[in-house]
């Protein structure tokens, strides 16, 4: 049962906005992308939206932890959240990174590498708002590192899908050539992304659920949502494999309907990716223990 829909929605929006912002900036570094597709105004708007969502999420968390409505949350409740070890610091760093991203893109738009690093910092700070942030000791550091790398890899994949979809929708012969080159360039990056997601996801799972699996496995919604996430992830891998080994070579060979098939495949893959983000946002508020 979805007991905190606003919390899930805010977590989902933060994952989507910050992950996509990082992924779009990262795409510039490994693909011959026409820069006009993502101008600095887009990045600035996404960073600003990230600030709004972060502030709203802070108030929502304070309300949830103190058993209050959003309207009743005051500075004392917010200060309590900000004083929590790790979580408060991560929030401050995320806000600073987003403000710096806006400044860099507004004043020095050519400093794409700096903006990429700042966006990455803002993204990995989200690792503290969930199971990873609650794990203590050395295990907690390992859990945070795995979650941070998981977020980075997911952001790269999300940004690539959005850019491939935008490029496939343009339709000119020049853009078809750019799309083919970008898909080819992403093959190596995509392999590393998938490997990172699989490895870090496995580490995070073991940190949360433990090993061997507890007797109460699959007796709480957390397990079933995780299983659904894995099924959807495998479906995304299947679509990615079709794109890489069948559709992309057809596009490079000049097949007439290759762009249309790639666009449809990427749209479906992107929809599945967004669904996974929603599941992750929900999973972070649940525990594997049915009690």
Note whether residue 291 is domain-resident: no
Please state, in angstroms and rounded to a whole number, the distance separating the CA atoms of residues 203 and 198: 9
Give the angle subtended at the CA of 143 by the CAs of 153 and 157, to the nearest 5°.
Answer: 10
Domain that holds residue 65: 5-283
Note whether residue 205 is domain-resident: yes
Distances (CA, A) of 104 to 18, 31, 44, 46, 98: 16, 22, 9, 14, 10
User: How many structural domains comprise the chain?
Assistant: 1
Note whether residue 289 is domain-resident: no
Note whether residue 122 is domain-resident: yes
Note whether residue 44 is domain-resident: yes
Note whether residue 177 is domain-resident: yes
Q: Output the tens digit of pLDDT for each of the chain's 291 residues.
A: 566 899 999 999 999 999 999 999 999 887 765 556 678 899 999 999 999 999 999 999 999 999 999 999 999 999 999 998 889 999 999 999 999 999 999 998 777 899 999 999 999 999 998 888 777 778 888 999 999 999 999 999 999 999 999 888 876 555 777 888 888 889 889 999 999 999 999 999 988 887 787 777 788 899 999 999 999 999 999 999 999 999 988 888 878 788 889 999 999 999 999 999 999 999 989 888 875
Note whether residue 290 is domain-resident: no
Structure tokens at 159: 């940004």
């Amino acid at each position: 049962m979805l007991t905190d829909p606003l919390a899930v929605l805010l977590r989902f929006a933060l994952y989507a906005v910050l992950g996509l912002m990082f992924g779009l900036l990262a795409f510039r570094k490994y693909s011959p992308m026409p820069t006009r597709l993502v101008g600095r105004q887009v990045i600035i708007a996404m960073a600003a939206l990230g600030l709004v969502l972060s502030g709203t999420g802070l108030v929502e968390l304070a309300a949830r932890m103190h058993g209050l409505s959003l309207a009743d949350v005051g500075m004392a409740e917010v200060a309590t959240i900000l004083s929590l070890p790790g979580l408060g610091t991560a929030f401050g760093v995320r806000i600073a990174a987003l403000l710096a991203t806006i400044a860099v893109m507004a004043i020095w738009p050519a400093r794409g590498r700096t903006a990429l690093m700042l966006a990455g910092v803002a993204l990995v700070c989200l690792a503290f708002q969930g199971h990873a942030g609650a794990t203590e000791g050395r295990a907690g550091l390992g859990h945070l590192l795995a979650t941070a790398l998981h977020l980075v890899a997911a952001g790269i994949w999300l940004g690539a899908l959005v850019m491939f979809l935008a490029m496939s929708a343009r339709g000119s012969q020049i853009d078809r050539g750019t799309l083919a080159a970008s898909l080819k360039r992403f093959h190596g990056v995509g392999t590393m992304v998938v490997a990172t997601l699989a490895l870090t996801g496995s580490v995070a799972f073991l940190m949360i659920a433990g090993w061997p699996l507890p007797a109460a496995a699959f007796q709480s919604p957390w397990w079933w949502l995780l299983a659904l996430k894995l099924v959807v992830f495998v479906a995304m891998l299947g679509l990615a494999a079709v794109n890489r080994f069948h559709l992309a070579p057809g596009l490079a060979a000049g097949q007439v309907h290759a762009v249309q098939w790639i666009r449809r495949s990427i749209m479906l893959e992107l929809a599945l990716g967004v669904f996974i983000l929603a599941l992750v946002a929900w999973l972070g508020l649940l525990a594997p223990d049915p009690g």
